Structure 1
Amino acid sequence: MKKGVFLLLIAAVSALGGLLFGYDTGVINGAQFYLTEHFNLSAALKGWVVGSALLGCFFGAIIAGPLSIKIGRKWSLIISALLFTLSAYGSGLPEMFPQSVSMLVFFRILGGLGIGVASMNAPMYIAEIAPSNIRGRMVTYYQLAIVIGFFVVFLATYYIGNNLTQTENIAFGWRRMFWSELIPSGLFLVLLFFVPKSPRWLALKGKDDEALVVLEKINEADIASKELLQIKQSLNQVDAGVKVSYFSKAILAIIAIGTVLSMLQQFTGINAVMYYGADIFEKALGFGKEDVLAQQILLAFVNLVFTFVAMFTVDKFGRKPLLYIGSIGMIVGFLLLGVTLQQESVGMLSLIGVLIFIASFALSMGPVVWVLLSEMFPNKIRSVAMSVAVAAQWAANYVVSQSFPMVMGSETNNSAPWNGSLPYFIFIAFILVIVYVTYKFIPETKGKTLEEIEQFWD
């Protein structure tokens, strides 16, 4: 098999973790309309069923670091694939088994654990195995897969729901929506057995010969030997037998920078728009709830197109330029939305503002944060540091998701001068912080090996 084809296969298989991230997160949005009536859920209980997976995501990201060090990136992903599969089947248990809200929440949390483990290990695995000149593009496959996962699950739940009656959907249609995830999760599980282990994890465990074999499948022999030498030099910078002190000033600073960047991805307001954007579309274009399909297609299309743009520019322009360009675009988009809300003139400009924001996020903070998190941490601390950063991102996701409707419904927001625009100006403030953090603390990693990036922190 040619080296390029082999590398593409590895990226495609590991990026399936991203697809399942999007699929598992999105499937509940289609199924909840019907399972709410099936179980006769109260508003509070419905929120718990829908949001319970975030709890699993948080704890999954926390355990992903130690798990990745102990058994490696490949086997961590295999465990996540098993969790996705169990969650998909269990969430839609056949009618012959007694399904309860508690059981449903249990299996949704299992799926969240799978997302948490995969969201740390998949981009890190790709970064550790990809050549430096195309590493950025390959890690963005992960973000592309998330976007595709959202789009595919939307089409799947729409197809299932529209081919059954309302009564059938309430009785068992929502179960089939969960079971549809068994196809990608099963494929992910099987294909993972055919990918190699991460060469950097093998070197970390002292298995240099195995690491060299993997590197030679991707690079020419002389380049592979040189890269293995760099990896060993990086790992040997810490004296033999001395454990890494994660509480040392230098290491804490590196982890803090990565964690702040990871959390800022959520504080852009992306999930506020994705979760609660229907109201904006309804006011801007007169869409009703029956037009959710058109709204989601529009958002998904823009998201998908500009994720492709990021893929083909991240290794050409670099990580920091995309963050600057995307930040400016996100600010412009929210300014359009915020000002039209303030002036009580919601219309096409508001819609354009939302779409500019989505496009700018997809171009920058969406994929580039995953690229930077997967490559900015030194070899010795990468697993634990990325675990902390990803867990913090899920915590930030929860904070934004819970606080956004409260701010939206507040008296301050719904009176002059804000007139419903306050949350978007708060998000603009956070985006300005992104510009500062990027300028002051984030290294440009384009074209550098992971070991060369490590020298930046020295």
Structure 2
Amino acid sequence: MGQNQKGSKVYLVSIVMVAVLGGLLFGYDTAVISGAEKGLQAFFRGATDFEYTDFMHGLTSSSALIGCIIGSSLSGLFAMRLGRKNSLVFAGICFFISAWGSMYPESWILTNGKPTLNLLVVFNLYRVLGGIGVGMASAICPMYIGEVAPSNIRGMLVSWNQFAIIFGQLVVYFVNFIILGGHSNPIYNAAGAIANMADAQWTITTGWRYMFGSECIPAALFTIFICFVPETPRYLVMIKQDKKALDVLTRINGTEKAIEILSDIKNTISVKKEKLFSYGFMCIFIGIMLSVFQQAVGINAVLYYAPRIFQDMGMENPMVQTVIMGIVNISFTLVAVFTVEKLGRKPLLICGSIGMAIGALGVAITFGNPSLNILTMLSIMVYSASFMFSWGPICWVLIAEIFPNTIRGTAVAIAVAFQWIFNFIVSSTFVPMFNMHLSHGDNFGHWFTYGIYGLICVIAAVFVWKLVPETKGKTLEDMTKLWKK
């Protein structure tokens, strides 16, 4: 009976950890391309029926992002029709098929090991499928955790999802590093030919396949484990399964608290489906803008370019600096995990925005000056660390909890779709902006790009201060009352 009065922390943590595996796969899938792309490029350059251009390689490297936009857009429909749990099972299946198909796109149909246009199309379709899984998981994992977690620790538990994303990226850097082993990546000479063809032969034929295939293991584990977690109580009430909802709530919160929470949920889900703007325009607008700012501050462009900056600074192995940066990122994500319930969401976002603005402006001022290399590196670290304790995790926390129950599925899907669209925009505009020159050899593009990101960080701080409501300690049902006002 004591167990029933208190609820089981072990049960709650175990189901949250399974959902967090979805975040790890999100990180793994989006970062696996970083180690594989050079071998993949050299492989398809060997095609005889078409010319594999840099533009095609750019599209192939980012084709998963197209799937992410599709998956996140459909996530609301899936979450409402299939439920949160079944949607995550579907995402897991997408992850597994994509990992297997990216490793072996010939699939016993096309000629094994022969690069052709058909093989390139099939490979990209598998990557898009993986992106659909990522897009779904990126929207539904935080929603799932937000809907099962008690309000006093919800922010901390949703923050673990961001930790898992960063951890997944770090894991795949190590896995790619181990797979590559003593083999070398292709190096291109000035004419665009592979300068070390003999040394890189294994990477070109086999290495990249192992890198994509390595995702099969976490994808299979996630798909199996997710079958054993319960559906969320909020969704169960929406489909009129109150007894099952009460059982789940009792196991997590204890009997008394469970009855109270169930009553709150039923009061807010008196209408199963409400129109998207039932709670006003600002509710949706704030959710979308949180997503837009998370990407518009330019974090992906800064992180993508970090290895090159370390290389320009004369570092012998920029991958080592990249891994160090990954460890710094994980450490500062933990700051958010352990302070989000004490300090609240808004203070972390505002402090992070100011830290990022300082870091971005530091890069803008010092980049390209060899005597200020250490300041450039420190500025990048400050920028990145500030993102990791603020916009990285806290944006997901707010998106998971800010919307009322009856519109959450659809609203989260729209907000996350905007996140992926702006991820694509920032990633694709960074290089042309960065390489802009007003006159020969000037650094206009460098300070213009980072200056813009710094300015957006300042605007983001003002946006949070003026418009975003604090959700610390509030139940998901309180959100309905907040927006009704």
Alignment of 1:339-418 (within 5 A): 339-341=365-367, 345-412=371-438, 418=444
Aligned residue for 1:93?
104
Cα separation, partners in 2 of 1:414 and 1:442, compared to 1, 3 Å? farther
3-state DSSP class of the match of 1:420?
helix
Q: Distance in 2 between matches of 1:411 and 1:10?
A: 52
Cα separation, partners in 2 of 1:455 and 1:415, compared to 1, 3 Å? farther
Q: CA-atom RMSD, angstroms?
A: 1.8
Q: Name which of 133, 145, 148 aligns with 1:126.
A: 145
Q: Distance in 2 between matches of 1:432 and 1:278?
A: 26
- What is the one-letter code of the residue matched to 1:169? T
Q: Distance in 2 between matches of 1:424 and 1:46?
A: 26
Q: Distance in 1 between matches of 2:441 and 2:482?
A: 49
Is 1:187 paired with 2:188? no
Q: Which moved more, 1:91-100 or 1:155-164?
A: 91-100
Q: Quote how far apart the aligned CAs of 1:419 are.
A: 6.1
Q: Which moved more, 1:8-17 or 1:98-107?
A: 98-107
Q: Name which of 25, 31, 50 aligns with 2:30.
A: 25
Q: Distance in 1 between matches of 2:155 and 2:258?
A: 19
Residues 105 and 123, structure 2, Cα contact 8 Å, conserved in 1: no
Aligned residue for 1:321?
347
Q: Name which of 452, 458, 461 aligns with 1:432.
A: 458
Aligned residue for 1:228?
262
Q: Name which of 178, 196, 200 aligns with 2:212.
A: 178
Q: Quote how far apart the aligned CAs of 1:415 are.
A: 6.4
Q: Distance in 1 between matches of 2:439 and 2:359?
A: 19
- 1:146-189 per-position Cα deviation (integer Å, ceiling 9, x unaligned): 00100111111110111546211211111111110011000001
- What is the one-letter code of the residue matched to 2:377? L
Q: Quote how far apart the aligned CAs of 1:328 are.
A: 1.4
- What is the one-letter code of the residue matched to 2:80? I
Q: Name which of 156, 163, 168 aligns with 1:137.
A: 156
- 1:49-68 per-position Cα deviation (integer Å, ceiling 9, x unaligned): 11100000001001100110
Residues 94 and 175, structure 1, Cα contact 8 Å, conserved in 2: no
Residues 68 and 76, structure 1, Cα contact 8 Å, conserved in 2: yes
Q: Distance in 1 between matches of 2:268 and 2:438?
A: 53
Alignment of 1:73-84 (within 5 A): 73-84=84-95
Alignment of 1:31-46 (within 5 A): 31-40=36-45, 41-46=52-57
3-state DSSP class of the match of 1:447?
coil
TM-score normalised to structure 2 length: 0.89
Is 1:108 paired with 2:130? no
Cα separation, partners in 2 of 1:311 and 1:220, compared to 1, 3 Å? same
Q: Which moved more, 1:418-427 or 1:400-409?
A: 418-427
Q: Name which of 286, 290, 299 aligns with 2:314.
A: 286
Cα separation, partners in 2 of 1:166 and 1:255, compared to 1, 3 Å? same
Is 1:4 paired with 2:9? yes
Q: Quote how far apart the aligned CAs of 1:342 are.
A: 7.8
Q: Quote how far apart the aligned CAs of 1:416 are.
A: 5.5
> How many corresponding residue pairs?
450
Q: Which moved more, 1:95-104 or 1:345-354?
A: 95-104
Aligned residue for 2:324?
298
Q: Quote how far apart the aligned CAs of 1:363 are.
A: 0.5
Residues 64 and 128, structure 2, Cα contact 8 Å, conserved in 1: yes
- 1:19-48 per-position Cα deviation (integer Å, ceiling 9, x unaligned): 000100111111111111111132111101
Residues 69 and 383, structure 1, Cα contact 8 Å, conserved in 2: yes
* Gapped regions of structure 2 (runs ≥ 5): 46-51, 113-118, 184-198
Alignment of 1:245-260 (within 5 A): 245-247=275-277, 250-260=279-289
Q: Name which of 297, 320, 342 aligns with 1:268.
A: 297
* Gapped regions of structure 1 (runs ≥ 5): none
Q: Which moved more, 1:338-347 or 1:178-187?
A: 338-347
Q: Quote how far apart the aligned CAs of 1:417 are.
A: 7.4
Q: Distance in 1 between matches of 2:374 and 2:77?
A: 49
Q: Distance in 2 between matches of 1:170 and 1:372?
A: 43
Cα separation, partners in 2 of 1:296 and 1:325, compared to 1, 3 Å? same
- What is the one-letter code of the residue matched to 1:386? V
3-state DSSP class of the match of 1:347?
helix
3-state DSSP class of the match of 1:448?
coil
Q: Which moved more, 1:302-311 or 1:328-337?
A: 328-337
Q: Distance in 2 between matches of 1:295 and 1:370?
A: 27
Residues 57 and 115, structure 1, Cα contact 8 Å, conserved in 2: yes
Q: Quote how far apart the aligned CAs of 1:97 are.
A: 4.9
Q: Quote how far apart the aligned CAs of 1:414 are.
A: 7.5
Q: Distance in 1 between matches of 2:420 and 2:371?
A: 35
Instruction: Pick the structure with greater CA Rg.
Output: 2
- What is the one-letter code of the residue matched to 1:135? R
Q: Distance in 2 between matches of 1:81 and 1:436?
A: 38
Residues 413 and 420, structure 1, Cα contact 8 Å, conserved in 2: no
